[in-house]
Structure 1
Amino acid sequence: MTVDVRLITESEYPDWLRAVHTGFLQPPVASDEEARSRRPYTDLARTRGAFEDGRCVATFRSFAQQITVVGGAALPADAITNVTVTPTHRRRGLLSRMMAADLAAAKERGDALATLIAAEYPIYGRYGFGPAAGVAEWTVDVPRTGLDRRWSRPESGRIDLVDGANVRKLGPDLHDRFRAVQPGAVGRDERWWATRTGAEQLPDHPWTEPFYAVYRSPAGEIDGLLVYTADDKWGDAKQPLNTATVLSLIAVSPAAERALWHYLCSVDWITTVKTGRRGPDDLLPLLLPDPRAARITLQADFLWVRLLDVVRALEARTYEAAGTLVLDVRDADGLSAGRYRLDATPAGATCAPTTESPDVTLDVRELGALYLGDASAVRLAALDRITEETTGAVARTEALFRTAVRPWCPDVF
């Protein structure tokens, strides 16, 4: 029987949501309450499904996103999520058909790039996506940190506990300041803040009120926000063995970041801190007198990027050095293929199609991996994923694209 791949209709949304559950190994039923809750935030003009005999067997959705690139500019992106194929319908090209339609629409719409968070590594490279920003998590053995547990306030500024209503007022401005200096960070809309502070509760995610701590600078500015939960665990000798789990920590200054981590590690009864998803070069371990007290418990790829408009994307970011590079970009889907001359400086760049001989040849997925400054051109060349056409061009690519501060996307989408 033919499988029909297309945008879904209003009446098909509940069945599409059931297929999302199935693909992510959740109970394969979607309640009317969940459908009513999620439907207003689902753009049916960007929601695709595959249907066989009237039943949804694959799902795909995208939405508008703003992503910060190197240098602080924000670019419009096609954010892809809710990608599933029902186990009975794998290996039939359903994802390829949905992806091709969505990326073509995104390019036509004017999105400079597409983003996603890959549940599985091998899938998305064949669609031109490259792993552009990693993630790490640490588990901190608090008694081993060497921190003074009697600490009660930072050397400058102050820390206050607030409630969700305060966070909804203070958080958006802080996050805008944070993402202006953090490549890889993405925008957070009003609903993001509502669902993360309990103002809007999702039926499929039971709500537990967390603790919210803000850091105020000596000038009174909100420079950091920490959101965390704590469990209630005690040892046999009536000793506290509580764990604090960080849901979010963003800061716009090292002083704010240091103060919030020190605060959390000084809370009475907390003996373990789970950091949640952090940037791979997070300051935390080195903020501790004994960095070995922070043990890495996760280190992996996270945000994947696919360039749709090479000229616009390369001109939007800044570069670590000045130089000229001719890139021959291969793209099996034809969306970004071409030869481009990049004239880059730390202040900005110009990029244009060219007929000049290339300095390097690479697939669009490798360009996506390089784009936010995290991947190494030297390593990619050693893996035969970049071809050096002129002597020294790989080293020049490394010097231009690589950044001292690694990109980080704090949010799942």
Structure 2
Amino acid sequence: MTDLDIRLITPSELPDWLRALNTGFLRPPTPSDEQVAARRSHMDFARTQGAFDGGRCVATFRSLAQELTTVGGAAVRADAITNVSVTSTHRRRGLLTRMMAADLAAAKERGDVAATLIAAEYPIYGRYGFGPATCATEWEIDTHRTGLDRQLRVPADGDGGRIDLVDGAEVRALGPALHERLRASRHGVVDRDARWWEQTTGLAEFQFQPWTEPYYAVYRGPGGTVDGLLIYRVDATWSDAKQPLNGAKVRDLIAVTPAAERALWHYLCSVDWVSTIRTGLRPADDLAPLLLPDPRAARVVTQADFLWVRVLDVVRALEARTYAVPGSLVLEVRDAAGFAAGRFHLDAGPDGATCAPTTRSADLALDVRELGTLWLGDESVLRLAALGRVEELTPGAGARADAVFRAARRAWCPDVF
């Protein structure tokens, strides 16, 4: 059997790497010249690995720099992992394990606090120390059952704000600052670079699907400040009886005030001919259904894990966030890879925390993947203890840790990367 060579790829190998990536994700294998050129323009080849068998790429792996907001609004450096594939002819040969080990070691050396990814398949990444840290929910709204008067002026709550339809150029000018405001207030949100806004507004090509211009709406508060942005597309479905049955699909809805959130949802529910709305992936505690007079007009169509987190630096991760109530805990963190293993004393509270290695007896013992699940405050320590995934070593420590770690709102990551 030919030796398998795992290494960083060179720019000249990008077409073969993309062919392997397309194969793994069940897309047409051969990339176009335009796809290769678009990728080459922004690829960081120092963070792009490939596995080669006889000169042919059979596995892919890439990471990129990311900032992730934790509880309390502080952002930490993260290693965002993406484009992971292993060709079906080369499974069960340790290719992903070797690429993951190299990437995480490099991230630890760089000083990244955590690694992140969106898991296409659930069972794979726990063995590398990742735990599901956010979940995503999508609703389908029957606009005719919302209880809203679709003839009312929008926004109709008299707050003095307004909704304007804008174009892509205005979104590129207004969107980044708005998103930074969101990122400072909602844990789980990751940063968006200029390319994200270019792809979302058609200025840069998205490699794997044709561009269709969406609609863009912004909400301006009474003082004229942009407090919300909605991006959506609408299909062209009509019934045989010549009745409009158009469906709207939300690409992005971000709002930094309750008034903006309410106005944008009410606006979309009032668009003529739109019978159903897919909300896109929202936090599990999203306000959208409860903003409707009849919340039953919204039914859940997707409920799943979303952002996965792998803690690399326990001290910096735990010190970066705030905590619901004061509390002191000693955590025994197990990490087979060694990046985050140790015993740590956490002294936490609403104003922040201190964390340091310690030799004191542990109150709780858990694997690093459970620490990743708990870090953004979206899971219960007591639930994990009931599942045998957190070990309570001091009586009552589980309930104490649950009160300390949980956040008032659910963590939310709006973006696939």
TM-score tier after normalising by the smaller chain length: over 0.9
Residue in 1 that maps onto 2:5: 4
2:324 to 320, 324, 330: 320
Structure 1 residue 60 displacement after superposition: 0.3
Residue in 2 that maps onto 1:20: 21
Residue in 2 that maps onto 1:332: 336
> In the alignment, is residue 370 of structure 1 matched against residue 374 of structure 2?
yes
Flag as ranges the 4+ runs of structure 1 deviating above 3 A: none
Mapped partners of 1:204, 1:247: distance in 2: 16
> In the alignment, is residue 136 of structure 1 matched against residue 140 of structure 2?
no
Instruction: Map 1:277-292 onto structure 2 (within 5 A).
Output: 277-292=281-296
Residue in 2 that maps onto 1:91: 92
Instruction: Map 1:180-199 onto structure 2 (within 5 A).
Output: 180-199=184-203
Structure 1 residue 12 displacement after superposition: 1.2
TM-score (norm 2): 0.98
The two structures, once aligned, show a CA RMSD in angstroms of 0.7
Mapped partners of 1:236, 1:2: distance in 2: 61
Provide the secondary structure at the position in 1 that maps to 2:344.
Answer: strand
Residue in 1 that maps onto 2:365: 361
Structure 1 residue 203 displacement after superposition: 4.7
Mapped partners of 1:153, 1:280: distance in 2: 26
Instruction: Map 1:29-108 onto structure 2 (within 5 A).
Output: 29-108=30-109
Q: 5+ unaligned residues in a row in structure 2: which ranges? A: none
Mapped partners of 1:298, 1:151: distance in 2: 31
> In the alignment, is residue 171 of structure 1 matched against residue 175 of structure 2?
yes
Mapped partners of 1:196, 1:388: distance in 2: 46
The AA in structure 2 aligned to 1:348 is: G
Structure 1 residue 202 displacement after superposition: 3.0
Instruction: Map 1:236-251 onto structure 2 (within 5 A).
Output: 236-251=240-255
Provide the secondary structure at the position in 2 that maps to 1:409.
Answer: coil
Residue in 1 that maps onto 2:266: 262
Q: 5+ unaligned residues in a row in structure 1: which ranges? A: none
Superposed CA deviations along residues 21-58 of structure 1, whole A, max 9, x for unmatched, are 01001111112221111112111100001111000010
Mapped partners of 2:9, 2:352: distance in 1: 42
The AA in structure 2 aligned to 1:51 is: F
> In the alignment, is residue 252 of structure 1 matched against residue 228 of structure 2?
no
Does the 8 Å contact 2:324/2:406 carry over to 1? yes
Decide which moves more: 295-304 or 194-203: 194-203
1:230 to 229, 234, 252: 234
The AA in structure 2 aligned to 1:285 is: P
Residue in 2 that maps onto 1:388: 392
Mapped partners of 1:396, 1:42: distance in 2: 45
Mapped partners of 1:289, 1:83: distance in 2: 43
Mapped partners of 1:149, 1:195: distance in 2: 32
Matched residue count: 413
The AA in structure 2 aligned to 1:18 is: R
Provide the secondary structure at the position in 1 that maps to 2:378.
Answer: coil
Mapped partners of 2:360, 2:78: distance in 1: 30
Does the 8 Å contact 2:245/2:274 carry over to 1? yes
- Identity across aligned pairs (percent)? 69
The AA in structure 1 aligned to 2:287 is: L
TM-score (norm 1): 0.99
Residue in 2 that maps onto 1:146: 147
> In the alignment, is residue 306 of structure 1 matched against residue 310 of structure 2?
yes
Distance change (3 Å), C-alpha of 1:286 and 1:167: same
Superposed CA deviations along residues 67-92 of structure 1, whole A, max 9, x for unmatched, are 10000000000000000000000011
Provide the secondary structure at the position in 1 that maps to 2:411.
Answer: coil
Does the 8 Å contact 2:307/2:413 carry over to 1? yes
Decide which moves more: 297-306 or 33-42: 33-42
The AA in structure 1 aligned to 2:298 is: A
Superposed CA deviations along residues 290-332 of structure 1, whole A, max 9, x for unmatched, are 1111010000000000000100010000000101000000001
Mapped partners of 1:402, 1:24: distance in 2: 36
